[in-house]
Every structure is written in C-alpha cells, then in structure tokens.
Structure 1
Amino acid sequence: MKALVVRGGWEGHRPVEATDLFVPFLGKSGFEVRVEESTSVYADAAVMSETDLIVQCVTMSKIERDEVAGLRAAVAAGTGFAGWHGGIADSFRDSADYLQLVGGQFATHPSKEPGECGGDETDNFLSHAVTMTSLGREHPITTGIDDFELTTEQYWVLHDDLIDVLATTTHPVRPWHPWHRPIVSPAVWTRQWGDGRIVVTTPGHSLDVLENLNVRTIVERGMLWAARTASAS
C-alpha cells in the first residue's frame, strides 16, 4: 500500500508538523509513505495510479487545472482522499472542481463576543460539542466514540447532500450574531466518489487539537477506511 502526503499552503495550520504527527502511524499501518510539498504531483498520472491513499494538508493556496483533474481521476479510480480542517475543507477556494470533489467547504468560524476579542487566533476559539450522528455511532471510523467537547475553531461548513455525515457541530445564536436560528454543520463526513472514498474531519486547527484522543482516532481510522479497497484495485 502506498500513501501520498501532500502538504503546504497557509503556514498557520502547521502543515509540516501536523502531517508529521501521522506519518509514523501510516508506516506502522503498512504504508510506504511519500511526502510532497506541492500539488504538482497530482498531475503525474503514473504516481497517482499507484497511490492507494492521499492525505492532504494544504490550506487555501492555488491548484492548476491539470492537477485537480489528476486528483479527481485518481479518486474516481479508487485512491482514497483524507484530511482535516483547512487542509482539505478550505483548500483551493477558486477551484469549483475541487469543491465538488470534497462536497463541503469552510465558510467561517464564528468568534467570541466582540468585547472579548483581543485580535489573535484565540478570538475564534469557542467551546463546542462534536455530536455523533446515528450513522456515526455505527461507522467504522467513529464507532465507540462518544460526543465530545473541544475549545478551538468551530467550522461553519457549506455542503451538499452527497456526503454521509458521521458527526455534527451546532452554532448557537448569540445576541451579536446576525443569524436567527442555530446552524448545524457537518464536523466529520465521508463521501463516495466513483470507486474512491473521501474522509473530512473539520477539527484540527492546531497540533493540540490533532493530538486530542478523539480527533486523532477519527483521523487515523479515517485514513485507513479511505485507502483503496480490494474492489477498487
């Protein structure tokens, strides 16, 4: 089994350090791991055809048309695609083809009450629950994981209904917010794309969140679940 780790983009999400947390796990799980610092590898059909799993951590940034075409073709042919937070759910904002592939896109992360904001990233660190769905309580990625609390960015996600939601998070209404009822966003989802499997985990802004036992378990199980299955070989 071959895994391709693609990392880069906005440095605030620590793409090198974050992916380095999981490279040893992939090795212990039987993967030969290749690490690339650019999405140009997606346009290499030979590499992509022999890749069983792609782990992407590239926040924002740009992707060329031939690169996203190569990524889409590989996933449709059975290559798994997995990632967390902005590294997969806030990548390549101007690529409609990428957004369609993933099925959900970061829109915002609501902040604290304005008077409590000090102008740094912690303005957006809110205590919130990650709640398992009925599907999530039975799915191999999340089975046995109870609802849990985090204090970090809470992603508001725009999404379609081709995703299978394993966990959600609810954005409440506060007096300083312009919305008028609570908003439920997917926090963990899977997606079938051709013969390929996609897994997105929205928590993961910082290393401490990725090291949270629940989050880390979901990411690790998700990578294994997404990897090419025998039927897609």
Structure 2
Amino acid sequence: MAQRRALVVRGGWEGHQPVKATELFLPFLERNGYAVRIEESTEIYADAAEMADTDLVVQCVTMSQITSDQLAGLSAAVVAGTGFTGWHGGIVDSFRASSDYLHLVGGQFATHPGQEPCQRRGGPEDNFLPHTVRLTDLGREHPITAGIEDFELVTEQYWVLHDDLIDVLAVTTHPTQPWHPWHRPVTSPAIWTRLWGAGRIVVTTPGHSLDVLERADVRTIIERGMVWATRTASAS
C-alpha cells in the first residue's frame, strides 16, 4: 500500500501561531503513516503534479491572500479527491477577498462577539466568551465526532456565514446581549464536513490558541477529521 501524503500549508496572521499550532499535529500524522511536507506559503497549490500526489492538505493560513492560479490548483486537487482540512481562522478566515475560496469551503468567519464593553481591556481576551459546542444528531453518529460530548469553551466563539451544502456536526449559539445589535439568538455551525467533487473537506472552528487545540475533545476531532478527509481509494 502506497504511503499517504499530507501537505501542511501554514502562514498568514501570526496571532494564530501557525507554526506552533501545526507542529502539534505532525506527530499524529507521522504515527498514522503519512509522509508530511510542510510549506510556508500557498505557492505549492499551483503545482499541479505535487497536488495530484497529495492525499490530504492541512491548512493554517489566517487572512492573507491567494492568487487565482493557486486557488485553482487547490480546488482542482480537492475535486479530484485530495482532502482538505483545518481549524479556526486557518481555514475559515483565509483569503477574505476570494469568493471562490468561500465557495470551496462553504462557510466564512464573520465575527466573534466580545465581552461587555466595560469589561474589555484591549487584549485578545476581550473576545473570549464562555460558550457551548453542541453536537448535532449527525455529529453524534459521524466518525469524526462520535463519542464526543457537548463541551464548554472560554475562547473566541465564531459567528460563521455559510451555505446549505455543508453537513453540520456541531453548532454554537450566540445569545442576545444588551450591547449587541441582533434581536434573537443566532446559531452557527462549529464543525462541518463538505463533499466537493471526489474530495472531502472538514472545518473545525474552535482553535484560536494552543490551549484550545490541546484539549482532548478538540484535538480528537481535528485528528479524526484529518483521517476522514484523506483521499479514499475510490477517489484515487
């Protein structure tokens, strides 16, 4: 059996610690038989031969920009069966100027509501709120999240704009607060999968900081997502 090949692409905004965050998952990939290649930019996406030989892309690139040929290469690889996954802003707040990237992933970060204004001190903790990630009925049965219970976090709670072509494994609800302009609670997908051509996409929105990624539940979901997204024999 040929060794599976994983491509880790990282960069963008340093606030999400793309190097340290991706380093957390390299031992898992290697233990599970992946040959891992690491790239510090999205230029590799334009290399058609390399992408065709890649079974899984793990992306951690917040914001930043992507060229049309790079995005076309990534999209073509996914359609042909390459898996695509990531967490938090590294996948769902990437390449804000690209509507085609949004179309590929199926959801995009809009905001993370913050604490009451009088409690804010100007640091990242201003946007840390206690919230619950709740498994859906599908999530309780899906191999990525089966056996995971609803869990509580105190970190950024992503509000995501999305389409209906995603299969939602977990959600989180933003409540109404006197200092916010919305008038009823809003529920956003927190973990989802997406089938795109022969490829599989997995998005996990928790993961702002290393302590969140190191939680057993979040880490298990991300690692299972990597395996699930990997090119299947029928896609090769």
**Is TM (by shorter chain) over 0.5?**
yes
Distance 1:120 1:11 in 2: 15
Query: How far off is 1:96 after superposition?
Result: 0.9
Instruction: Find the aligned partners of 2:216 and 2:162 in 1 and give their Cα distance.
Output: 26
Aligned counterpart, 2:116: 113
The aligned residue for residue 229 of structure 1 is 232
Letter in 2 for 1:157: V
Aligned identity (percent) is 74
Which among 147, 155, 179 is matched to residue 158 of structure 2?
155
1:61 alignment partner, one of 36, 49, 64: 64
1:5 aligns with 2:8: yes
After superposition, residues 134-145 of structure 1 pair within 5 angstroms as 134-145=137-148
Show structure 1 runs of 4+ deviating over 4 A.
none
Aligned amino acid, residue 135 of structure 2? M
Structure 2 residue 132 is matched with structure 1 residue 129: yes
Q: Tell me which residue corresponds to 2:191.
A: 188
Counterpart amino acid of residue 95 in structure 2: F
Tell me, in whole angstroms, the C-alpha distance in 2 between the residues paired with 1:149 and 1:213: 12
> What is the CA-CA distance between 1:151 and the residue it aligns to?
0.4
List runs of 5+ in structure 2 lacking aligned partners: none
Partner of residue 83, structure 2: 80
The separation in 1 between residues aligned to 2:51 and 2:94, in whole angstroms, is 19
Output the amino acid matched with 1:208: D
Match of 1:93 in 2: 96
Q: What SS class does the counterpart of residue 138 from structure 2 fall into?
A: coil
Question: Which residue does the alignment assign to 1:212?
Answer: 215
Cα deviation, 1:19-46, whole Å, max 9, x if unaligned, reads 0000110000110000000100000001
Give deviations 1:58-96, integer Å, cap 9, x for gaps. Answer: 000000000000000000000000000000000000011
Aligned counterpart, 1:35: 38
Q: Quick one: distance in 2 between partners of 1:104 and 1:28? A: 31
Residue 113 of structure 2: SS of its match in structure 1? coil
Provide, for residues 117-144 of structure 1, a one-character-per-residue CA deviation record: whole Å limited to 9, x for no partner: 0010000000000000000000000000
Query: Partners in 2 of 1:110 and 1:187 — Cα distance?
Result: 15
The separation in 2 between residues aligned to 1:212 and 1:153, in whole angstroms, is 15
CA RMSD of aligned residues (A): 0.3
Q: By how many angstroms is 1:54 displaced?
A: 0.1
Normalised by the size of structure 2, how large is the TM-score?
0.98
Aligned amino acid, residue 28 of structure 2: F
Question: Could you state the TM-score of these two structures normalised by the residue count of structure 1?
Answer: 1.00
Q: Distance in 2 between matches of 1:23 and 1:54?
A: 13
Q: Distance in 1 between matches of 2:80 and 2:46?
A: 15
Counterparts of 2:44 and 2:101, CA distance in 1: 15
> 5+ unaligned residues in a row in structure 1: which ranges?
none
Matched letter for residue 94 of structure 2? S
